[in-house]
Structure 1
Amino acid sequence: MQLLVASNNPKKLAELEKILGEAGINGVELLALGDVASYPEPIEDGRTFADNALIKARAGVAATGIATIADDSGLAVTELNGMPGVLSARWSGRHGDDAANNELLLAQMHDVPDERRAAAFVSVCALVTPDGEEHIAEGRWPGTLLRAPQGANGFGYDPLFMPAGQDHSAAEMEPAQKNAVSHRGRALAQLTEVIKGLAATQA
């Protein structure tokens, strides 16, 4: 069975491959966007992570006819009613400007006391099949928002995020350590039974 991962990030394929291996699921060939004929990138204009994940997964199926899995993720700060949320990558107005996004978020939370700095990284993964089945799973990585960046690993808001039960930021964790507890890993793990069932029907 072929499964398209709607991403060009090799780390996402490796993460899903590892999860499937640990679940004992064989016979699944993971494909990246670079492995299929190119198609127009869909506009992610959904209001929720689930909306955007479904937009990407549906586009993959429509263009290739292959079951597609896609994710959308970001940081949800309780004090900001769940924002930046789907706007995480462009919170400062410029897409992917991590430094500007972090600086703006810190400024907005400057006067918020420690007991109200709860936050969570959230990932929603959507799996859509050629016959129209849609499956959604959400993974959350709870923690708190720091008052200054810590650590040089990771990306995005990692330097500002202190995972619950830890004494170091997400940006101070080794990649393997982070992947083992990440929000995306938790979401993907919930879809293993669905993938196992699809693989069995096509064996």
Structure 2
Amino acid sequence: MKELIIASANRNKILEVKTILSPLGYKIRSMKEVGIDIDIQEDGNSFEENALIKAWTLADITKEIVLADDSGLEVEILNNAPGIYSARYGGEHGNDRENNIKLLRELKDVPWDKRGARFVCAIAMVYPNGKEIVTTGECKGIIAMEPKGTNGFGYDPLFYIPQLNKTYAQLDSKEKNSISHRSKALENLKKLLLGKEKGAEN
């Protein structure tokens, strides 16, 4: 069985990867499960570049197939900000509350029909022989006027899905995984792997 290391310690993310890719015959393990705890500098200029940086950093250490992702929120009227800076938009890295406060402040006087946004995810899968596969996925929505819901993390309480009349944070994990930007990127990767896996390892 081929081993696949995920460049993440996020349990929800790992479960999502396992759910979608395990049927392809991979033994999927997280960084923690292989005894690696490093802080990877994400200094790329796009989600794709950052995903590749993370994947290759871990692949150089483990000599195994590695999967990494980078994702963020793009708001149309803000020229696609916060983009690759989504995690540190409000200043401190990973401070969800400050990020959400800043986003609402930036959109304070913006009407509902101008608050279009999308979540974007890029996934990179790299092989010890130098081959790499990159896929992307996105989910379109609207930035709500106020946070709603208690599930999820990050900008989820502000990301409203008109078709469902709910924010990401009001969805259960099954609902979110069925429409999320990450699940779409993973499904795109799965399709590529079904056709390219053999070629990538030759």
TM-score scaled by structure 2? Answer: 0.92
2:94 pairs with one of 90, 93, 96: 96
Who is 2:156 aligned against? 158
* Secondary structure of the corresponding residue to residue 4 of structure 2: strand
Does the 8 Å contact 1:28/1:199 carry over to 2?
no
Does the 8 Å contact 2:47/2:70 carry over to 1?
yes
Aligned residue identity for 1:177: E
Task: Please list the CA deviations of residues 83-124 of structure 1 after superposition, one character each: whole Å capped at 9, or x if unmatched.
Answer: 111111110111111111101110101111211110011110
Give matches, 1:81-120, under 5 Å: 81-120=79-118
Instruction: Provide the rounded CA distance (Å) in 2 between the counterparts of 1:186 and 1:171.
Output: 18
Instruction: Provide the rounded CA distance (Å) in 2 between the counterparts of 1:112 and 1:201.
Output: 47
Task: Quote the offset at 1:193 in angstroms.
Answer: 3.6
**Unaligned stretches of 5+ residues in structure 1:** none
Task: Quote the offset at 1:64 in angstroms.
Answer: 0.7
Aligned residue identity for 2:173: P
Task: Quote the offset at 1:198 in angstroms.
Answer: 3.1
Does the 8 Å contact 1:5/1:13 carry over to 2?
yes
Who is 2:9 aligned against? 8
Instruction: Provide the rounded CA distance (Å) in 2 between the counterparts of 1:181 and 1:126.
Output: 20
* Identical amino acids, percent of aligned pairs: 39
Classify 1:129/1:164 alpha carbon distance in 2 versus 1 (closer, same or farther; 3 Å). farther
TM-score scaled by structure 1? Answer: 0.91
The question of 1:31 aligning with 2:26 is answered no
Instruction: Provide the rounded CA distance (Å) in 2 between the counterparts of 1:43 and 1:142.
Output: 28
Instruction: Provide the rounded CA distance (Å) in 2 between the counterparts of 1:116 and 1:124.
Output: 25
Instruction: Provide the rounded CA distance (Å) in 1 between the counterparts of 2:192 and 2:167.
Output: 33
**Residues 98-107 or 160-169, more deviating:** 160-169
Who is 2:53 aligned against? 55
Task: Quote the offset at 1:80 in angstroms.
Answer: 0.8
Instruction: Provide the rounded CA distance (Å) in 2 between the counterparts of 1:153 and 1:193.
Output: 29
Who is 2:197 aligned against? 198
Instruction: Provide the rounded CA distance (Å) in 2 between the counterparts of 1:97 and 1:12.
Output: 19
Q: CA RMSD in A?
A: 1.8
Task: Quote the offset at 1:155 in angstroms.
Answer: 0.9
